[in-house]
Amino acid sequence: MMRGHKKVVKIIMSYASIVFGLKHIIEQFEFIERVTLSNGLEPCAVERLRPDILLLEDTIAYAHAQKLAEWKSSRVVDHIIVLYDKDKDLRVDELWKCHIVSYLPFHSNPKQLMLALEGELCGFSVMPVHMAKQVEVSQSLRSPSSMLTENEQQVLEQVAAGRTNTEIARMMHLSVRTVETHLNKIYRKLGARNRVEAVCKYIQSTAP
């Protein structure tokens, strides 16, 4: 169960038969305050609302990828989950560049929805295992730093500054366990054995 203030969710989707079902399910979760709907992306409306979580259809995400990247960078929307029908048609690489790392099928059950929302709020990448493997292979062909999610980069930057897991958890409003999970993923992605090695490899990969 999530702690803290209840969250506002906005769903942007053109399939009315699906979106009302999603709204009904998500409204039942204890950590949700309210859910708003739209069949298209209206930047001004999203910027006024500043939802805690934005769920939107994949085709809408492609059309507004640059705006989504701007929102993530400026923290207008911290958490974005892309909804899709068929994973074979999902262009993950295109959206990953916008720091969108969570993907969920249209017809997800209540348990899947809850895990996805809680996972995204805790800074995890949420997607099917087979899709995650494809992303990891694709990202491994690029620089090591590009393989890290935004939260993983923030954790590693704090490690580089000499902060402990407890201090990082306090600064990023995460649990210590979540920080440790991020670090384990960072070690695996960078091929590092410890904090010092991870920082060194990250600095080398981002050097001009």
| Token pair listed for 162 | 């000499």
Residue ranges, CATH 1.10.10.10, the chain: 142-206
Q: Is 115 left (phi over 0), alpha (psi -120 to 50) or beta?
A: alpha
Where helices occur in 161-194 by DSSP H, the ranges are 165-172, 176-190
Residue 137 pLDDT? 54
Residue ranges, CATH 3.40.50.2300, the chain: 7-130
Tens digits of per-residue pLDDT, 133-148? 666 656 554 556 667 8
The Cα–Cα gap between 96 and 99 comes to 5
Average pLDDT rounded to a whole number, residues 17-43: 95
Given 3.30.300.30, 3.40.50.720, 3.20.20.300, 3.40.50.2300, which CATH number is that of 7-130? Answer: 3.40.50.2300
Q: Half-sphere exposure of residue 58, counting CA atoms within 13 Å on the CB side?
A: 20
| Token pair listed for 104 | 């969920």
| Cβ contact 118:2 at 8 Å | yes
Q: Which of 40-44, 92-96, 101-105, 162-166 has the lowest mean pLDDT?
A: 92-96
Residue 141 pLDDT? 46
pTM: 0.69
Statement: 142-206 belongs to CATH 1.10.10.10: yes
Residue 119 pLDDT? 86
CA 179 to mean position of chain CA atoms:
15
Residue 37 pLDDT? 97
State the pLDDT confidence band at 193, using cuts at 50, 70 and 90.
confident
Residue 205 pLDDT? 65
Report the percentage of the chain scoring pLDDT > 90: 53
State the pLDDT confidence band at 8, using cuts at 50, 70 and 90.
very high
